[in-house]
Amino acid sequence: MAVTNAPVDPAPIGFLEEKAHRLRRHMVKMASGKGQGYLGQGLDIADLLAALYFYEMRYDPADPKWPERDRFLLSTGHYSIGLWAALVECGTLRTDELSTYGGDGSRLDMSTLDSTPGVEMTGGSLAQGLGQAVGVALAHKLDKRDAKVFVELSDGELQEGSTWEAAMAGRQFKLDKLVAFIDCNGIQADGKLVLDVEPVADKWRAFGWDTMEIDGNRMAEVVAALQWARVERGVPKAVVMRTVPGKGIPTLEKREKAHFVRVGDDEWGAIADELEKTRG
């Protein structure tokens, strides 16, 4: 049965926080099985994924290609560990696939491929997601479909011109069913962002997008942003999320370089224990 995208309020914050915790637990299982992975980024967007998949989006877990579904495009394909956790938790993918993460022949690649059920775009090369989301939202508008298009992109992608070309197009075509979530975690492959992209929210406003800024690791703020984004004002919406790489696991939160996580084989148990101790 499809999930409605007009949930009854007030939102079940406790339920969604538990879902976010379960997603983080799935991610730790995947990374520990492989011994490595893009765990920091997955952990930092777990709250957004839980709110989208278990509160806001209209979709059918048993039929990922349902024509009337809302779309979620993950521009940062290396965040796939988070998307796999959400698709497993909602029932689109099987739980026993978690142990195959990053392995030969697995559907759970370290970067997304649209051959995996529930994936709307192939990710890997950055700064491609917003342009694709604009195209999908424009097609929906021309076809007079009611579906919403949600896209996640990163602050690192704000260093690339194609992102801003897409932002201009989204405003030009008045794509008011398009919602972009900009994950501002302050890192890229080798540490901190090379270019200063601030002030992020002001830049999106300057490009004509309705914009708000939130703590992306506080479920109540994520849900409030989704509720705010339901109101259509003739322009697309941008939600600037301030997040912490490795959220929920203090050892990883403190790392200066959290783009790709490796720990010793004997340390994964301690990582999992930390997650459980910080729960709630």
58-97 residue pLDDT tens = 999 999 999 999 999 999 999 999 999 999 999 999 999 9
- Residue ranges of the chain with per-residue pLDDT less than 70: 1-8, 280
Q: Which residues pair with 192 in a beta bridge?
A: 187
pLDDT of amino acid 7:
66
The C-alpha atoms of residue 48 and residue 34 are separated, in whole angstroms, by 25
* pLDDT of amino acid 148: 97
pLDDT at 260: 82
Q: Is the dihedral of CA 227, 229, 233, 234 positive or negative?
A: negative
Angle in degrees, CA 85, 47, 245, rounded to 5: 85
**Which residues neighbour 196 within 8 Å (Cβ) at sequence distance 6 or greater?**
none
Q: How far apart are CA 264 and CA 82, in angstroms?
A: 22
Confidence (pTM): 0.95
Tokens 């200066």, residue located: 256
pLDDT recorded at residue 215: 98
The CA distance from 97 to 88, in Å, is 8
Euclidean distance between CA atoms 228 and 212, whole angstroms? 9
The predicted structure's pLDDT at residue 6: 54
Question: What does the pLDDT read at residue 262?
Answer: 86
End-to-end, the C-alpha distance of the chain in Å comes to 30
What pLDDT does residue 9 have? 72
For the chain, which domains are there? 13-277 (3.40.50.970)
Residue 280 has what pLDDT?
Answer: 54
Amino acid sitting at position 106 = S
d(CA 54, CA 221): 15
Report the chain's mean pLDDT, rounded to a whole number. 93
Q: Find residue 239's DSSP bridge partners.
A: 181, 212
